[in-house]
Structure 1
Amino acid sequence: MTSDPVFPLAAPVLTTEPDGFSLVLSGKLVLTHSAAAPCLFVGQGQERMEMYRGNFDIEDYVVERVALRHAAISGDVIDLSPSPSEPARLRLRVEGAALRFEALDPAINRLWLRVQAEAGEHVWGGGEQMSYFDMRGRRFPLWISEPGVGRDKTRELTFKADVAGRAGGDYYHTNYPQPTYLSSRRYALHVETPAYSVFDFRHEAFHEIEVWAVPERIEFFDASDFEGLVEQLSTRFGRQPPLPDWVYGGAIIGLKDGEKSFERLECIRAAGAAVSGLWCEDWVGLRHTSFGARLFWDWQANETRYPALRQRIAELRGEGIRFLGYVNPYLCADGPLFPKAEAAGYFARDAEGKTALVDFGEFDCGVVDFTNPAAADWFAEEVIGRNMLDFGLSGWMADFGEYLPVNVQLANGVDAKLMHNPWPTLWAEVNARAVASRGMTGEALFFMRAGFTGVGAHCPLLWGGDQSVDFSRHDGLVTVISGALSSGLLGNAYHHSDIGGYTSLFGNIRTPELIMRWAEMAAFTAVMRTHEGNRPRDNLQIDGDEAVLSHFARMTRLYVHLAPYLRSLSDEAVQRGLPVQRPLFLHFPGDRATYAIQDSYLYGRDLLVAPVWREGETSREVYLPEGADWEHVWSGERYEGGATIPVEAPLGRPPVFIRQGSVWMDLFRTLATL
């Protein structure tokens, strides 16, 4: 759990009323309570949680839900009870910009809070939300899990994934939930709790927050504009270091073809692609499963698959190309690191006190217990420090973090149900500690898909997870835009995705069009990175088609051309916490037409990017925010803001617009010449 905020914030004003109270934040009513309309409910629930390969089946039986209608107020302390004749069950304290909670009844394990809402209000945040950027009108459980395959219960793909492995997702499933939201009323709210929680935005008059514990506190953030809110939230949850200088040299090419990866890299470069890194997940070796080729989860170089790898890494570095690998917080039971960790007592344990084994899909692993300081230190120093950084790696995918079982025993004695959500933050901290120990913060780049409150203080780069290799509305290309925008508002400045998607199941495979459209979007993000996917041999790769490779190479040159601008955005992220990819309303708060747009974004302040995300389309409609004039990058045609315009968008010319008056006009206009 994170510590109390240490920066000054506007404190809510508590007003006592005849039969209750209200809480006002800079003139905005956020809580109102009376006997007839209480805002707080408490009770008890009995949950059932079953995990299968990172997917959870969760049910709750509510034993009791009682309205706390009576409020006894003394100064900034509020004692709440069901009636004046019954004992208080919950105590609230107004402390600065937060409400602190104390259970006076130890039986309470459920709490519901109703926050005032307004008609026409919009809400964003919730961590990394892939389906709906504007969360108003829907209910969002906040629990870390696999995001699911398909994520749309009406699709055949999702149905098949459910039947085959209970792996079909829904709109709210995410690798990175966070109980924080921003409102169009220009305030933000954060629930400080590790427990399962729910944000329910379906009611017009109030937002209901449900927590399966009594939260430590609820924090309020207030600003006159959205930029100020993002600055506050990024300060609260932690800001990332600047992007490493080497990243600006081009794309990170993901290949997992053993030593053949080096030959293929040379062919990609010969085609004119600008390359900054070679990312080989399979540096640790492979195993083959029904899901596809999987990595061998024992974190050290596999000399059989990559002979003389240390020398190869040094040679690449001499050419200005960094080498990246892969790691996750688990150790396979059939690998050499497992017995070492088990002998030292570094694994989470089962009910019998033995090493808890988790099925990851045809192989079992132990969960390294990061609540044990010795285990966290060992993993940071021996595994990441010596086996990876000292070996020459400049970065890696720090995968998973979602799989902490809820029935294991941990060294810190805390119920695993209360450690499950914070687990990715602990995992990020282990990686960051290893990087810092080598003096490589801001130089080594690891990226994560899992997250929770505070992950931004440790993780330098998010990635959008395992999208399907398609154009689908809830699991394809367009979802990573929503993920970038929602997580960016909470202080995660850098976001990127697997170019071409990852998950290929039930005959769903990449098309040339998909890869090219994804690359067009990626050229206008913080990092360009390719991925071969879970079934590399069944799916088209960037070097498997001449037209695809030529198109991809050009997109990398666009990315490199914009490097001076991206550097300025990285500087701004460090100084102010503003994300690289921004919702349109961040800089156009007066234009309410921008509040629900999630398929286009501002790349910094001065470029508007509207990727083509529907299959077969060669044009699309784009809304240009009111308050600026815009210039189409490819044609030079100018438009007045405040209107939706049709834009021709053949392959190679994604809709991109320059804000008139930008100091970067000359740089942007020369994009059309590349």
Structure 2
Amino acid sequence: MSEKGKMMKNILVWGALICAIYACGETSKSYEQVENGVVVYPTTGSAKGLKVTFVTDDIVKVEASATTAFDTTTSLVAVPEQVSVPIDIKEADGTLTLATDELIVTINQATGQVSYADAEGNPIMSEQNEGRAFEAITVEGKAGYTMSQKFDSPEDEGIYGLGQHQADEMNYKGKNEELFQYNTKVSIPFVMSTENYGILWDNYSLTRYGDERPYTNIDQFKLYDKTGKEGGLTATYYDDQNSEHVFVERVEDIIDYENLTTVENFPKDFPFANAKIVWEGQIEGSESGLFRFLCYYAGYTKLWINGELQFEKWRTAWNPSVAKFSADLKKGEKNDIKLEWIPDGGVSYIGLKALSPVDEAAQKQIAFSSEMGQNIRYYFMAGDNMDDVISKYRTVTGKAQVMPKWSMGFWQSRERYKTQDELLGALGEFRKRHIPIDNIVLDWSYWPKTEWGSHDFDLERFPDITGMIDKIHEQNARVMISVWPKFYHNTEHYKQFDAQGWMYKRAVEDSVKDWIYPGYIGSFYDAYSSGARKMFWDQIHDKLYTKGFDAWWMDASEPDILSNASIKYRKELSTPTALGPSTEYFNAYALQNAKGIYEGQRSVNNDERVFILTRSGFAGIQRFGAVTWSGDIGTRWEDMKAQISAGINFAMSGLPYWTMDVGGFCVEKRYERATEGSEDMKEWRELNTRWFQFGAFVPLFRVHGQYPFREVYNLAPETHPAYKSMLYYNKLRYKMMPYIYSLAGWTYTKDYTIMRGLAMDFSADKKVYDIGDQFMFGPSLMACPVYAYGARDREVYLPKSAGWYDAYSGEYYTGGQTITAQAEYERMPLFAKAGSIVTFGPEIEYTTQKPADPITVVVYAGADASFDLYEDEGTNYNYESGKFTSINLKWSESTKTLTIGEREGSFDGMLENRTFRIKVINKDNKGNIDDLSGYEEVKYSGQPVSVKG
């Protein structure tokens, strides 16, 4: 932070603190000392009780209650070990100061305002004075509170986290986000600052970050139709978009067709199949300022204000997404608006809402507001850097496991392999073509059509499932199976849950039918019940695990009982839970669902690492062997781009394992119909190629989607540049396995983050704060995906550092500049940081094919560098008891020497003796990742070895 920035932050935080201390002349009650902290009873403000305790000397737990009592229920999110923290407590002039070796926490005893500073007294951030609020709420007979907490924080910081969202936003400073779970949306109530602190908001209900107000309909504006008459916008419904035949024209003052309830307000009998709807006219704000808009859309959607296109998007009809934009409006001034919408199929979803302006300083505050809880509970954590903050987050929420080594290889999936022959045929084709692969996936609907949830197989299509799995394993691959928390009401498994009161019954009572023709009735089990979780695992164990499946795909874990239901009805469909009303426990279903599988599998086989792929997630899910993927995203360039910032922010929410459907899931019809040589086929292949290039550099490398088939040999012939590029990046991923698996090991040993926003490594360079289309893959490589059709270059910002090397040409660039990077069809821009190390192994087609020997150590010179090569047994949990090795590779720039340090640790089967090949790249000695020759070879037996570069 600049000196000016530090000064402004000091003024902001301490000014607020002094004001809070002296604004009230009342004498507060004396505090109560409790283990690791204090309890205070504020005399002003909404909180009547405040408990501040230390988890460690730099992690603080804050609980605020609307009464003098505190919530005693066990957190679903936090699992910190209780340790004794030495605290120096001082009381003076109505102020309590709690000091540890790392933090100084100051509490205004009158107002309950809490402020944070480092051990030297330098302010970090503070709760806002009178920034806490409670409002009583009763749901299903249970009392609770709607609650909010606001924080004054440094103006020039970057804010990241909040999970995975689809509006392509990177830096959340000054932005708003609704936190709820939905297909393609994963909400994590955690933020992390470039000022090296984090806040975990421990609440499971519908929550808003930023502005606590919900977006509201456009009738907040004065609206004029296309003739200038006040009252609403002109809505023209064309039943044939080609002839533009008008079915009906009417005036509408709201555009709210966002769910199964509100779509009933469309014109009766309007045919959507080939339709187009246009809303046009003018809007006029009742005040001046920046209005923030949110458009909820499916189908083809465009919106203009004053003739300027705000966005152009597409989503499949059944799976909407959101677009955000802002407009600076002046009071009393009319602004042209036009929304053009092509539904792209049957009944679809569209909505336009807005938030009126707020004071800019208020907008930049960190704020959380939640629909229901018993009291405010949050964790403040401070670190030396952003990695340290994430380590503190995992101290509170649990360690991430080292994923099995095979999971870091390539995953092939499709929606769906309909027979066991199709699945085995696909795997066999990979092996025949020598395309590296470790994992193949059996998606949904392998069961008899009327028996979803039975976990049985349709024997006509899967006559020998055990034999199928054996053949997969014989080909050195693993298999993951899709398992839903959903049960048709006629299945025996449903009846077992129902007999114990462990099914959500509303969907059955309302005869809600799913999308499988002609529609079947069922519901989801209550994952909040420990007994239900055990039963869910027992059923999976008996029907699936005993057959040899290696991994679990937990689909629809939001829970998605009825797609496109309103939030209100979604809560009604999933209540009551074993812990209370769904209003209070709305967001944590996936966490509990994964918990049951993880604990269940480890209870019967603690020698095989659990692997769970889940469509939703929550804070703490990393401790349950879970990877989250970004849901049923669209096959569009803008969707691909949005995954970059979505994945980065998910990782910066403290959860290290993330993936996506490479190529997108939901397919535009033009791609389904594309023929050889057509422009649509050309674009389809280029889209998949660019996405594949990107996918090779995220934590889990996984291809999946609807038709057309996504296997590389189905996407393009082997002579095509698309095929060649995808094969190249697949092989590169496998050659980099010593580097990649080390990163996986670090997630446990160092609480590391694999997919890294640039601010994590270059926080002093403020230009990186808003960059959401580049990221670090580990400490050494910067990936720069290409997300525009026909692009053969792209702008790349090289953060301030010792410099950067083009990974392909070895060309050196100074940091702190923007360049135009070449991006020919078959290559994505990739840069190595000067002062870094990348380790390469031999070419392999699956992760267990051969030991990682020799290992080529590529040093990118220009600054000192260090890399810890991690290895373990690859599939079991022995690393938890210390059975792993770490070899430190250290480059000294001053002496031009690489030192291979003493091997630390051991495990069964480790290589006692091995070969390292050392290659040094610098400004004068260019090198590329495709040619690792020109090395110096050394033998290594576990003792230090030094090599001059």
Answering whether residue 442 of structure 2 is matched by residue 280 of structure 1, we say yes
8 Å CA contact 1:127, 1:178 repeated in 2: yes
Whichever of the two has the greater Rg, that structure is 2
Deviations 1:362-381 (A, max 9, x none): 43322112233322111112
Shift of 1:77: 4.5
C-alpha deviations, 1:288-335, integer Å up to 9, x for none?
A: 9xxxxxx94542333222221211211221221111110111112354
Counterpart position of 1:543: 713
Which residue in the other structure is 1:465 paired with?
631
CA distance in 2, matches of 1:356, 1:493: 40
SS of equivalent residue, structure 1 residue 417: coil
User: Separation in 1 of the partners of 2:177 and 2:692?
Assistant: 30
Aligned to 1:58: none
Amino acid across the alignment from 2:662? I
How far is 1:505 from its partner? 5.3
**C-alpha separation in 2, matches of 1:90 and 1:256:** 59
2:341 pairs with 1:341: no
Q: Answer whether contact 1:402 1:423 (CA < 8 A) is retained.
A: yes
Structure 2: which amino acid aligns with 1:220? F
Alignment of 1:545-624 (within 5 A): 545-546=716-717, 547=720, 548-624=722-798
Contact 2:594 2:624 (8 Å CA) reproduced: yes
Cross-structure match for 2:536: 379
Of 209-218 and 132-141, more deviation after overlay is shown by: 209-218
Quick one: which of 675, 687, 704 aligns to 1:531?
704
Task: Please give the alpha-carbon distance, in whole angstroms, between the structure 2 residues aligned to 1:444 and 1:112.
Answer: 37
- Counterpart for residue 329 of structure 1: 485
What fraction of aligned residue pairs are identical, expressed as a percent? 19
Determine the structure 2 residue equivalent to 1:636: 810
CA deviation after TM superposition for structure 1 residue 459, in Å: 3.7
Of the structure 1 ranges 494-503 and 603-612, higher mean CA displacement relative to structure 2 is found in 494-503
Paired residue for 1:519? 692
> Counterpart in 1 of 2:900?
none
C-alpha separation in 2, matches of 1:458 and 1:601: 26
Counterpart of 2:423 in structure 1 is: 261
Q: 2:617 aligns with which of 420, 445, 451?
A: 451
Query: Which residue in the other structure is 1:397 paired with?
Result: 553
Residue in 1 that maps onto 2:367? 208
Residue in 2 that maps onto 1:124: 160
Q: Does 1:107 align with 2:112?
A: no
CA–CA distance in structure 2, aligned partners of residues 35 and 426 of structure 1: 40
- Paired with 1:514 and 1:338, the residues of 2 have a C-alpha distance of 42
The one-letter amino acid paired with 1:371 is Y
The question of whether the paired residues in 2 share the 8 Å contact of 1:585 and 1:595 is answered with: yes
CA distance in structure 2 between the aligned counterparts of 1:125 and 1:253, rounded to whole angstroms: 28
1:616 to 1:233, Cα distance in 2 relative to 1, 3 A: same
| 1:145 shift after superposition | 2.2
Cα separation, partners in 2 of 1:431 and 1:662, compared to 1, 3 Å: same
One-letter identity of the residue aligned with 1:469: T
State the alpha-carbon separation in 1 of the partners of residues 461 and 15 from structure 2. Answer: 59
Query: Structure 1 residues 308, 411: CA separation in 2 closer, same or farther (over 3 Å shift)?
Result: same
Distance 2:206 2:43 in 1: 24
CA deviations 1:374-406 (Å, max 9, x no partner) are 2211111222x2222211111131112213641
SS at match of 2:64: strand
Which of 832, 847, 852 is the aligned partner of 1:658?
832
Instruction: Give per-residue Cα distances to partners, 1:66-109, cap 9 Å, x unaligned.
Output: xx9989453355545668xxxx6632222231221112288363
Structure 1 equivalent of residue 268 of structure 2: none
- 2:160 partner SS: strand
Contact 1:32 1:116 in 2 (8 A): no
Mean CA deviation greater in 68-77 or 498-507:
68-77
Matches of 1:207 and 1:116 in 2, distance apart? 7
CA contact (8 A) 1:401 1:427 kept: yes
Report what 1:144 is aligned to: 181
Deviates more, 1:211-220 or 1:582-591: 211-220
> What is the Cα deviation at residue 498 of structure 1?
1.0
Partner residue of 1:241? Answer: 401
Residues 147-190 of structure 1 deviation map (CA, whole Å, 9 limit, x = unaligned): 4xxxxxxxxxxxxxxxxxxxxxxxxxx2x212211122221112
- Residue type of the alignment partner of 2:475: E
Quote the offset at 1:506 in angstroms: 6.1
Relative to the length of structure 2, the TM-score reads 0.56
Q: Does 1:302 align with 2:458?
A: yes
Contact persistence 1:30–1:115 (CA under 8 A): no
Cα separation, partners in 2 of 1:269 and 1:553, compared to 1, 3 Å: farther
Q: Which sections of structure 1, spanning at least 5 residues, go unmatched?
A: 1-23, 39-67, 148-173, 289-294
Contact 1:69-1:82 within 8 A present in 2 as well: no
Where structure 2 has 5 or more consecutive residues not aligned to the other structure, the ranges are: 1-8, 32-37, 55-59, 68-133, 138-144, 212-357, 562-569, 673-682, 840-855, 859-926, 933-949
- Does 637-646 or 444-453 show the bigger shift? 444-453
**Aligned partners of 2:453 and 2:485 also within 8 Å:** no
> Do residues 672 (structure 1) and 930 (structure 2) align?
yes
**Aligned counterpart in structure 1 of residue 655 of structure 2, from 492, 498, 503:** 492
Structure 2 Cα separation of the partners of residues 632 and 670 of structure 1: 8
Which one has more relative contact order, counting CA pairs under 8 Å at least 6 apart? 1
- 1:517 is displaced (CA, Å) by 0.8
Name whichever structure is richer in strand by fraction.
2
For the residues of structure 1 that align with 2:647 and 2:431, how far apart are their CA atoms? 29
Counterparts in 2 of 1:240 and 1:413: CA distance versus 1, 3 Å: closer
Structure 2 Cα separation of the partners of residues 311 and 540 of structure 1 = 25
Aligned residues: 576
Structure 1 residues 232 and 663: CA distance shift in structure 2, 3 A: same
Higher alpha-carbon deviation: 325-334 or 516-525: 325-334
CA RMSD of aligned residues (A): 3.3
Question: What displacement does 1:602 show?
Answer: 0.5
2:204 counterpart residue number = 194
Relative to 1, partners in 2 of residues 1:243 and 1:89: Cα closer, same or farther, differing over 3 Å? closer
Aligned equivalents of 1:219 and 1:504: distance in 2?
42
What is the Cα deviation at residue 209 of structure 1? 2.3
Indicate conservation of the 8 Å contact 2:372/2:584, yes or no: no
**CA contact 1:601–1:608 (8 Å) conserved in 2:** yes
Given that 2:628 and 2:659 are in contact with CA atoms closer than 8 Å, whether structure 1 keeps it comes out as: yes
The equivalent position to 2:386 in structure 1, one of 214, 226, 230, is: 226
Q: Secondary structure at the match of 1:631?
A: strand
Matched, 1:93 2:51: yes
2:401, 2:625 within 8 Å by CA — same for their partners in 1?
no
Query: Quick one: structure 1 residues 37 and 615, their matched pair in 2 at CA, closer, same or farther if it must change by over 3 Å?
Result: farther
Task: Tell me whether 1:370 sits opposite 2:534 in the alignment.
Answer: no
CA contact (8 A) 2:494 2:503 kept: no
Matched with 2:30 is 74
Amino acid at match of 2:174: G
CA contact (8 A) 1:471 1:478 kept: yes
Which whole-Å deviations, capped at 9, do the CAs of 1:268-305 have from their partners, x for residues lacking one?
333331010111214624769xxxxxx94542333222
Q: Secondary structure at the match of 2:837?
A: coil
Q: Which amino acid aligns with 1:144?
A: Q
| CA gap 1:81/1:248 in 2 versus in 1, 3 angstroms | closer
Amino acid at match of 1:568: S
TM-score under structure 1 normalisation?
0.78
Alignment CA distance shift 1:287-1:578 (3 Å) = same
Is the 1:448–1:459 Cα contact (8 Å) retained in structure 2?
no
| Mapped partners of 2:726, 2:626: distance in 1 | 25
Change (3 A) 1:459 1:450: farther
Distance 1:441 1:491, change over 3 A: farther
